[in-house]
């Protein structure tokens, strides 16, 4: 089945063009649900490229990373859930936006995708990843948001994304005060019959903290959370609906994470224990002399700041004789810096999901 979708776009603040990759039916042995990622450089950088998503056509997990001027290695871990075939039907899609604006101004967008009349069958929508690609120069993030949700009428979905970036330090381009990024948002629809015996419980995870230039931030890269669920079921599936980071001002990036993975599901009391990562770290004590490229990282700078973060997740409970698996893959991307284009193939690492 292929949807002929009607698209309504609402644009804010210097939002320009987009392209739409329509959802498509996918036949496969297993279904993959993206559950986020974590990434760390060995010293801090501007944002040239950052992304992680599931490529449904080639059945691969794809991670992207690129810094600005300095060469470095990005280490990452991608989280996903594998579902056995036959539990759901799934459709994958993506929306690509070209985001232009002034440095220090938020560029926001919303895209509403309507289903044709009579096609709004039972479904759950969630993020399948994203790829944020600089088309002009590397900048430092101040605000980041990406999300997907069902619209109130039930006959479509709404995707949202926002970015605010700035750059005023010595390595920045002093005479070019605009930003230009391609923001690709990947999403998926799980379709199910009315008698599927499912329950969905939404949760919002929020976190905020501040740091100075003297004491290294002790950020737990993963925390165990306990969630109460509103229904019953023998199996549990986590999904991510939105991610949001707000910084007090422009910051270099050292470590960044937003993910969720199931550790234990207790069917007797409908409680789930999950590993949750939601953090931003701008600098470390060892980054100057302990990086992979100490001649470059000796110029790395500590800067005080603060961050507020939010991640909207949901848990799908269902009765099933087969059980979803929480999985991870990890890898490294070696990036040679020198303000190389973010579109260079060295910025992409492709890994099989099986």
Domain contains 138: yes
Q: Once rounded to an integer, what is the mean pLDDT over residues 109-126?
A: 77
Domain contains 164: yes
For residue 204, name the pLDDT band (cuts at 50, 70, 90).
Answer: very high
Are 290 and 42 in contact, with CB atoms under 8 Å apart? yes
pTM: 0.89
Domain contains 100: yes
Domain contains 300: yes
Q: Say whether pLDDT at 1 is over 60.
A: no
C-alpha closest to that of 342 among 180, 103, 166, 207: 180
Domain contains 227: yes
How many structural domains are present in the chain? 1
Helix (H) or strand (E) holding 149: strand 140-150
pLDDT of residue 119: 55
Residue with tokens 């459709």: 91
> Of 30-39, 192-201, 262-271, which range is least confident?
192-201
Domain contains 352: no
Q: Is 19 exposed, middle or buried (0-12, 13-18, 19+ CB in 10 A)?
A: exposed
Please give the structure tokens belonging to residue 20.
């739409």
Please give the structure tokens belonging to residue 226.
């306990």
* Dihedral angle, C-alpha 125, 126, 129, 132, nearest 10 °: 80
pLDDT of residue 196: 67
Please give the structure tokens belonging to residue 9.
């776009």
Domain contains 97: yes
Number of C-alpha atoms within 13 angstroms, CB side, residue 233?
25
Higher pLDDT, 119 or 139: 139
C-alpha closest to that of 278 among 263, 306, 258: 258
> Of 10-24, 79-93, 191-205, which range is least confident?
10-24
pLDDT digits (tens, 9 = 90+) for 136-194: 999 999 999 999 998 887 788 999 999 999 999 999 888 889 999 999 999 999 887 77
Q: Once rounded to an integer, what is the mean pLDDT over residues 52-70?
A: 95
Domain contains 343: no
Cα separation, 283 vs 213, in Å, equals 9
Identify the domain containing residue 130 by its residue range: 6-336
């Amino acid at each position: 089945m292929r949807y002929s979708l009607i698209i309504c776009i609402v644009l804010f603040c210097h939002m320009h063009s987009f392209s739409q990759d329509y959802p498509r039916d996918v036949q496969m042995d297993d279904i993959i649900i993206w559950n986020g990622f974590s990434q760390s450089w060995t010293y801090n950088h501007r944002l040239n490229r950052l992304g992680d998503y599931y490529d449904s056509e080639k059945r691969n997990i794809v991670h992207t990373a690129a810094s600005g001027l300095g060469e470095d290695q990005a280490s990452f871990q991608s989280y996903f859930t594998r579902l056995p075939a036959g539990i759901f039907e799934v459709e994958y899609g993506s929306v690509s936006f070209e985001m232009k604006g002034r440095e220090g101004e938020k560029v926001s967008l919303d895209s509403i995708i309507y289903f044709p009349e009579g096609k709004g069958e039972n479904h759950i929508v969630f993020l399948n990843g994203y790829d944020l690609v600089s088309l002009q120069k590397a900048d430092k993030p101040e605000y980041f948001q990406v999300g997907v949700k069902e619209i109130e009428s039930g006959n479509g979905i709404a995707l949202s994304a926002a970015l605010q970036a700035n750059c005023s330090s010595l390595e920045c381009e002093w005479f070019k005060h605009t930003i230009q990024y391609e923001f690709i948002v990947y999403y998926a629809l799980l379709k199910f019959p009315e008698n599927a015996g499912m329950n969905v419980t939404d949760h919002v995870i929020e976190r905020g903290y501040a740091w100075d230039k003297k004491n290294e931030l002790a950020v737990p890269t993963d925390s165990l959370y306990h969630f109460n669920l509103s229904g019953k079921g023998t199996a549990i599936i986590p999904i991510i609906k939105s991610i949001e980071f707000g910084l007090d001002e422009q910051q270099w990036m050292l470590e960044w994470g937003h993910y969720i993975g199931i550790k234990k599901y207790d069917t007797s009391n409908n409680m789930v224990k999950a590993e949750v990562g939601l953090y931003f770290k701008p600098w470390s004590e060892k980054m100057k002399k302990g990086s992979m490229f100490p001649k470059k990282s000796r110029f790395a700078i500590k800067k005080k700041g603060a961050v507020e973060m939010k991640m909207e997740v949901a848990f799908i409970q269902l009765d099933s004789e087969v059980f979803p698996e929480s999985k991870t893959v990890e890898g490294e991307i070696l990036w040679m810096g020198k303000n190389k284009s973010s579109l260079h193939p060295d910025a992409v690492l492709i890994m099989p999901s099986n």
